[in-house]
Amino acid sequence: MAYMCLTVHFIDVDWKSQKKILNFCQVTSHTGEIMAQNVEACLNSWKLNKILSLTVDNASSNDVGVMYLKKKLISWKSSVLNGEYLHIRCCAHILNLIVKDGLKEIDDSVTKIWDAVKYVRSSNSRLTRFKACIAQENIPHKSLVCINVETRWNSTYLMLVAALKHQKVFELLEMQDKKFVEELNKGRGVPSIQDWDYAKSILPFLEMFYDATLCISGSSYVTSNLYMKEVFALGRRIQQYRDDDELSISLMASKMKAKYNKYWGNAKTINMLLLIAVVLDPCHKLDYVEWCLVNSFGAEVGGELKAKLSSCLHSLYNLYQGADEGNQDDTLSQPSPSDKPKDIYDIGLYRRSTGRKSNFKSELDRYLNEDCEPDDKPLDILGWWKVNLNRFSVLANMARDILAIPVSTVASESAFSMGGRIIDQYRSSLTPKMVEALVCTEDWLKGDFFSSLAPENFEELEKVEQDLILSEDITCSVGPVSIALEDD
């Protein structure tokens, strides 16, 4: 039984990030067009037609679905920048693909540690002997070693973190438990000092991806301004590890770099909305983004991207400025001075006829020319725009929409953690409509339930991901709100 979850993301009048599940409905197929038609039906039922972005995982069927919705939006005359940047790929899924490719080149050293951990966790008696060794070594770490889950790369990282804290315990177990040695010698053998040293050497590399996943998987705070910063930083670090003297580490990084380039290395496929999100971060703005582009792609390609970004930024600003002026015109009950007949000696006519321009600067120019906010401590970006709403009314409307874009489908995936339990427990009695009613009502009444899953409580997030190994994800953003879609 396949279900699709549609979640709306938006920033409310108090400048708080919000998300609500709109639909949790049964679907007949996972093909791109069928999924897109279901999304279209859900949006029509809610009378939502202004879609800013659609965040999806990397299934090829989603490319078809996004193209279908893009054509619909254009026909509705409600696309932003002609829908060119509608498609946003889930950052968490891309990170997962990158690291999993690198781990295919993993050294036997890590495999030996896996085997040692599996031995300890394979029975209660073995775990008891291991705990006795912990007591003898007086290890302060209370957490026990955990078994790696092959389908989730971050479990490899967590396994190594825990195992390295217990290195001396494993060495003591080797001396006291003959079965431990016999069992591991049937495979690759007991981990040596060199094996433990190798594990330590790759841990910072894996930690980098783990931290990035935590950073962009949040659903209770703004993440769109963080996406490209993490992308640029990861690209630089991967390149550094490619140049490592240790061959196995260099090979692992090379594998990761190839996958990185597939999704983030092509300048032509960079989503400008995500770069604009960084520009709308008062701590960074345009100069920082342009510097990142040149450092990541070189002077020539970086220069082309800078020009493209500037063009998109100004086009988007003009679009919002026109909408803002239209709203102001609707409220006027008296003709403005500009509606009156022009005097032949009007100063405006003089300036236009002579080509002279006033020194007036747009909101965008003023914002970009002001100094950046200090980045030595975390900035409440939504709070900043709330305070500066009167100074930058047009830009604030832009920020309200752009910063609402979810860059991960985790918020939608969370629904399946609850939805799956409902379906399993009451499969024989609940209709799809009743399942939808329960899931949506639970979310509407207890919205904070899902926000607690990511990323502050990553163990809970792991449980969600375990349930979704075979699932496909879609997330989208709509006009002043963002929508998240997930199917399972």
> What residues does each domain of the chain span?
2-89+409-487, 103-207, 221-328+362-371+378-407
For residue 443, give both structure tokens.
């979310």
Q: Is 253 helix (H, G, I), strand (E, B) or coil?
A: helix
What is the per-residue pLDDT for 348?
58
Q: Where are the beta strands (DSSP E) in 16-103?
A: 17-27, 51-56, 87-89
Residue 453: what pLDDT?
A: 41
Residue 259 structure tokens? 């996958």
Is the pLDDT score of 254 beyond 90?
A: yes
**Burial zone of 477 (CB within 10 Å; 0-12 exposed, 13-18 middle, 19+ buried):** buried
Contact 13, 406 (CB under 8 A): no
Angle at 133 between CA 128 and CA 138, to 5 degrees: 125
Q: Assess contact for 61 and 40: CB atoms under 8 A.
A: no
Residue 43 one-letter amino acid: L
Residue 10, H or E segment: strand 2-11
What span, in angstroms and rounded, lies between the C-alpha atoms of 67 and 85?
11
Sheet holding 2-11, edge to edge: 17-27, 2-11, 481-487, 472-478, 51-56, 87-89
Q: How far is CA 290 from the centre of its chain?
A: 21
Is 466's pLDDT higher than 50? no
- 199 and 160 in contact (C-beta within 8 Å)? yes
Among 42-51, 224-233, 440-449, where is mean pLDDT lowest?
A: 440-449
Ranges 58-67, 179-188, 382-391: which has the least confidence: 58-67
Q: Of the ranges 169-183, 200-214, 434-448, which is most confident?
A: 169-183
Using a 10 angstrom Cβ sphere, with 0-12 exposed, 13-18 middle and 19 or more buried, the burial of residue 165 is: middle
pLDDT exceeds cutoff 90 at 395: yes
User: Region 64-69: what's the mean pLDDT?
Assistant: 92
- Look at strands 51-56 and 2-11 and give their pairing: unpaired
Q: If you write DSSP's letter for every residue of 102-166 in order, what string do you get?
A: HHTT--HHHHHHHHHHHHHHT-HHHHHHHHHHHHHHT----SPP----TT-HHHHHHHHHHHHHT
pLDDT band at 262 (very low <50, low <70, confident <90, very high): very high
More confident residue, 65 or 409: 65
- Share the mean pLDDT of the chain: 82
Tokens found for residue 316: 């988007």
Instruction: With beta carbons less than 8 A apart as the criterion, state whether 196 and 171 touch.
Output: no
Query: What per-residue string of b and e applies to 63-82 under the rule 16 or more CB within 10 Å gives b?
Result: ebbbbbbbebbeeeebbbee
Ranges 56-60, 363-367, 391-395, 460-464: which has the least confidence: 460-464
Mean pLDDT over residues 197-213, rounded?
A: 91
